[in-house]
């Protein structure tokens, strides 16, 4: 197994830039993206060597508690992005364009992306959308904004897509391939595919020059992304089939908190060692 350049913080770049991700694709190497929404988790993920921290609009579900990503506002996204940027030293910080903040025109997309970069200090943005949004990508790239195109299942369109469904099956693959190519040609530096059958994702990856990131899209993409609360077992909600659970933080935290609760009720906390003496 070759030692990946990006996965080795001691040897790799001090800050992940778009050309490092392109190098990964060119060299047949992988990289990892993980969502983050606050400074402390950003610090932990950054120190662990994660290459990209995604301030996903999944914050609507995982932080605020909405049942979809639609209600989150640009102002809320800016706050989460600032927090993550404060914790990330090496990882690239990418922020989602939230629902309703970019669709109307390329100019609206530029305005939103600039706010996420200027006020949130993101280094790139991610936009959900098909080839119909290629002009939006072109305008953002022209304004100096690196863009990741998000295709396949796009949660902001869950109602239009008829719920959480795998995309790109059968004939739909040709359209998805055309979307990916149009976004790449408009200047997207990376294409993220969500809930796409592995053979379809592999085919799309093979026709693209730019790196790809997958979530529920098999192993052929250059990178992978997961929502951190899902992969660390913090959430209560049932995790999708494509999520590997690396820890069970919900029970670890629950246990620690009930221990603290019992200690307080029994008077054993604070004991002498935690008290100020004159």
> Is 128 among the annotated ligand-binding positions?
yes
- Determine contact, residues 84/55, Cβ cutoff 8 Å: yes
**CA angle, corner 122, sides to 121 and 125, nearest 5?**
150
Counting contacts by CB under 6 A, is residue 156 touching ligand KIV?
A: no
Output 9 or 45, the one with its CB closest to ligand KIV.
45
- Show the site string, 93-132: x = touches ligand KIV by CB under 6 A, - = not: ---x------------------------------------
How many angstroms separate the CA atoms of 109 and 30, rounded?
A: 29
> Is 14 among the annotated ligand-binding positions?
no
Which residue among 41, 58, 97, 212 contacts ligand KIV (CB under 6 A)?
58
Within residues 210-229, the interface with ligand KIV by CB under 6 A covers 215, 225, 227
> Is 157 among the annotated ligand-binding positions?
no
Output 204 or 215, the one with its CB closest to ligand KIV.
215
Catalytic positions: 194
Which residue among 56, 98, 146, 149 contacts ligand KIV (CB under 6 A)?
56
Within residues 33-52, the interface with ligand KIV by CB under 6 A covers 35
How many angstroms separate the CA atoms of 116 and 110, rounded?
A: 10
Output 98 or 197, the one with its CB closest to ligand KIV.
98
Output 54 or 74, the one with its CB closest to ligand KIV.
54
Counting contacts by CB under 6 A, is residue 57 touching ligand KIV?
A: yes
- Determine contact, residues 128/155, Cβ cutoff 8 Å: yes
Q: How far is the CB of 248 from ligand KIV (least distance, A)?
A: 21
Q: Which residue positions form the known binding site? A: 57-58, 96, 126, 128
Residues at the interface with ligand KIV (CB under 6 A): 35, 54, 56-58, 96, 192, 194, 215, 225, 227
């Amino acid at each position: 197994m070759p030692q990946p350049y990006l996965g080795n913080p001691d040897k790799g770049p001090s800050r992940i830039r778009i050309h490092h991700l392109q190098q990964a694709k060119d060299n047949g190497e992988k990289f990892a993206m993980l969502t983050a929404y606050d400074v402390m988790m950003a610090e932990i993920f950054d120190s662990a060597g994660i290459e990209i921290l995604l301030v996903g609009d999944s914050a609507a579900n995982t932080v605020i508690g909405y049942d979809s990503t639609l209600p989150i506002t640009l102002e809320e996204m800016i706050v989460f992005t600032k927090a993550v940027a404060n914790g990330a030293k090496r990882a690239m910080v990418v922020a989602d364009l939230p629902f309703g903040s970019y669709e109307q025109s390329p100019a609206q997309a530029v305005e939103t992306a600039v706010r996420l970069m200027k006020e949130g200090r993101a280094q790139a943005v991610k936009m959900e959308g098909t080839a119909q949004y290629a002009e939006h990508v072109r305008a953002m790239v022209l304004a100096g904004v690196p863009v990741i195109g998000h295709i396949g299942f796009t949660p902001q369109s869950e109602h239009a897509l008829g719920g959480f469904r795998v995309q790109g099956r059968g004939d739909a693959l040709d359209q998805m391939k055309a979307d990916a190519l149009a976004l790449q040609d408009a200047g997207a530096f990376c294409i993220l595919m969500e809930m796409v059958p592995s053979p379809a994702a592999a085919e799309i990856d093979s026709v693209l020059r730019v790196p790809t990131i997958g979530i529920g899209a098999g192993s052929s993409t250059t990178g992978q992304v997961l929502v951190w609360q899902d992969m660390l077992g913090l959430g209560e909600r049932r995790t999708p089939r494509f999520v590997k659970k690396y820890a069970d933080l919900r029970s670890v935290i629950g246990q620690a908190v009930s221990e603290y609760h019992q200690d307080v009720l029994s008077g054993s906390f604070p004991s002498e060692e935690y008290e100020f003496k004159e």
